[in-house]
Structure 1
């Protein structure tokens, strides 16, 4: 056993004291198990066999385990490209579980910083040195009009003409990325845009347009998903795009391989 006799004998005596039984009959130059010692040996062998089985099961489970890719989706996104993105990733990496969490844009940045999610999708967050933002894809901007609006029968609408009417806007604190992109459009095409009302969500935005509170703009991806019959969608004469971004946290020790793999896949989504 490669153990000195003295500490081994002491260990056996300690075990006998703990169990309150005699395990060995000690005779000159000979040791013999008592009935209690034989029973302990029998069960000890069974325990070691079970322990080896447990070790094997644990190792096999670890070999099969894959940490999930945790994705945070902000801004109430319902774009077809987002669903296609997730479906394509699952086909590419079927062994990696996918967990999707919906949250306001204001919470996404914190969730990425705390590494509660690995990847985020948004129309854009305020500049943050800790968060990287890359364009994932874009959709053309379209006009949203109440059915009885004078521009609703047009095949194409000039952006400057659309923005001459009172508009619905997104609230900056709820949809910051979308608000900034739309503000940039208004600044480029309208001298003095009039904001008639503000919406907290994309659904609320469309509802206000349908109710006739103002005209609006949205990305074609969301309008293809919503398919509202109480809102008329008209293409804009100018090619203006609304961008969707994929976000992740900068990490000093580099990105895990799974994140690198997903980002490499995401970069292919907006390529021609």
Structure 2
């Protein structure tokens, strides 16, 4: 079998026309070099070199082989370069966990912008409950997560990346449905739909904070496991609700009226990651730096 070694040794001999200089050039002894060129001639069934006492000369077959062998090595080097460049560009996927059934337009914009910024880094998105997101971050099954917030955890960092105004949700036949704006205290006078704490903990805690601030004893009429279930209950007239404007843009429905609040109240979205030592992976650092630019005061 002809190997690259045969051709590399032959090129050295054909260009030097001297076995000693060729052996020095490829860093082998002269004897194995000469044996390898003989082996090449035997495998090809041709004479490549005329061996005179004081000089070597290429035969026509030798000249043709030298021409094509040079082209072969040029192509081989080009292949190596392309392969190395591809390897250098390759990155393990950025694994993102999305909790709380989040469907905000800014989240989609975030991913779209990141793909434009880092097109060679695959993006893997997994939807999961907030409790599973926390566990996945701890086990490093995902690199980064998005949520309405989780309980304080020494292993996990979380920071706000954007917020949306809070809006009131009422059924079409509700007395507040025709208002252009409503005060939160007026809304909280009616029975409210709440999120279940075990399913949407971050969103429930943010909404509870609003209710505690503006109402002494808000009445919770029903609890929902998902944002879609939350809106369905409002549409069914089981109670009034609040939601961030981003989700109501996504979940626009004819059977729910969205009324702006008079107060400047926002629902916050957080990006989360595990603390790692001595430093975060380079791709994760880049993504977090990019995500921080998305915050609009």
Q: TM-score w.r.t. structure 1 length?
A: 0.79
**1:201 matched to which residue of 2?**
226
**2:158 matched to which residue of 1?**
133
The 1:268–1:56 alpha-carbon spacing in structure 2 relative to 1, beyond 3 Å, is closer
Instruction: State the secondary structure of the residue aligned to 1:157.
Output: coil
Instruction: State the secondary structure of the residue aligned to 2:110.
Output: helix
**2:102 matched to which residue of 1?**
77
The correspondence of residues 220-259 of structure 1 with structure 2, limited to 5 A, is 220-259=245-284
1:157 aligns with 2:182: yes
**Paired positions, count:** 231
Give the distance between the partners of 1:199 and 1:244, measured in 2 at CA: 19
Instruction: State the secondary structure of the residue aligned to 1:134.
Output: strand
Superposed CA offset, 1:203-260 (max 9, x none): 0000000000000000000001111110000001100000000000001211111111
Structure 2 unmatched runs, 5+:
1-34, 44-72
**2:16 matched to which residue of 1?**
none
Instruction: State the secondary structure of the residue aligned to 2:221.
Output: strand
**1:99 matched to which residue of 2?**
124
1:62 aligns with 2:90: no
Give the distance between the partners of 1:241 and 1:147, measured in 2 at CA: 24
**1:147 matched to which residue of 2?**
172
Shift of 1:141: 0.2
Give the distance between the partners of 1:124 and 1:239, measured in 2 at CA: 20
**1:270 matched to which residue of 2?**
295
1:168 aligns with 2:201: no
Q: Which runs of 4+ in 1 moved over 2 A?
A: 52-64
Structure 1 unmatched runs, 5+:
1-32, 43-48
**1:45 matched to which residue of 2?**
none
Give the distance between the partners of 2:176 and 2:83, measured in 1 at CA: 66
The 1:62–1:218 alpha-carbon spacing in structure 2 relative to 1, beyond 3 Å, is same
Structure having greater relative contact order (Cα 8 Å, sep ≥ 6):
1
Shift of 1:62: 2.6
Give the distance between the partners of 1:96 and 1:145, measured in 2 at CA: 43
**1:111 matched to which residue of 2?**
136
Shift of 1:57: 8.4
Superposition RMSD in Å: 2.4
Q: TM-score w.r.t. structure 2 length?
A: 0.72
Shift of 1:59: 4.7
Instruction: State the secondary structure of the residue aligned to 1:124.
Output: coil
**1:11 matched to which residue of 2?**
none
Superposed CA offset, 1:168-190 (max 9, x none): 00000000000000000000011
**2:28 matched to which residue of 1?**
none
Give the distance between the partners of 1:239 and 1:87, measured in 2 at CA: 29
Give the distance between the partners of 1:271 and 1:158, measured in 2 at CA: 24
